[in-house]
Amino acid sequence: MNPNAQHFISLMSNSFKSRLFMLTKLPAAYFSGVKVKQLTSEKAIVIVPFKWFSQNPFRSTYFACLAMAAEMSTGLLAMMQIYKRNPAVSMLVVKLEANYFKKATGITYFTCEAGTDFKNIVDACIEDGEGRSYTAKSVGRNKDDEIVAEFFITWSFKAKK
């Protein structure tokens, strides 16, 4: 694991620091109410509420706000592995696919459990200098634990020379 991963987890688990990060780096997510609920080396849970700023005309959460939360649940696990790495590793979303099953009319919890996969991909990039991609799954559920949507986000990684 990235030796700096625990520091990243503590930064992003701090409500004030994670909200400040979103305000400065991801303002759309900040204003939509996206929040980090839980972050471990294996799993990330990110929530997005249904509120005025995140709604669509059909009285549910706008798909783009759902996508932001899903992307963040995968991206946190990826960022944890590249945080302060030497050599530095770049990451970029190269593909996004989604399936919607139910209207999101309350808080939606997006969970990604691909921490080990991200660790292995980033370690391999650093080891041989080759670029790699990985598709992570994030599942969004409502308060009744019903699946609202699932997202498949493909990340590209490359160690910088």
Q: 69-94 pLDDT, tens per residue?
A: 999 999 999 999 999 998 999 999 99
- All structural domains of the chain with their residue ranges: 5-159
Run of H or E residues at 64: helix 63-82
d(CA 88, CA 130): 13
How many whole angstroms separate alpha carbon 103 and alpha carbon 148? 7
Does the pTM exceed 0.85? yes
d(CA 125, CA 108): 33
**For the residues 58-62, what does the mean pLDDT come to?**
93
Reduced DSSP (H G I as helix, E B as strand, rest coil) percent helix, strand, coil of the chain, to 5:
40, 30, 30
Nearest to 97 by CA among 152, 32, 144: 152
Q: Is the pLDDT of residue 99 over 80?
A: yes
Question: Residue 113 and residue 40: Cα distance in Å, rounded?
Answer: 9
Q: Give residue 161's pLDDT.
A: 80
Give the C-alpha separation, 85 to 127, whole Å. 12
In eight-state DSSP terms, residue 143 is: T
Residue 4 is classified by DSSP as: T
Average pLDDT in the chain: 95
| Fold classified for 5-159 | Thiol Ester Dehydrase; Chain A (3.10.129)
Our measurement of the distance from residue 10's CA atom to the centroid of its chain's CA atoms, rounded to an integer in Å, reads 16
CA–chain centroid gap for 4, Å, is 18
Binning pLDDT at 50, 70 and 90, where does residue 2 land?
Answer: confident
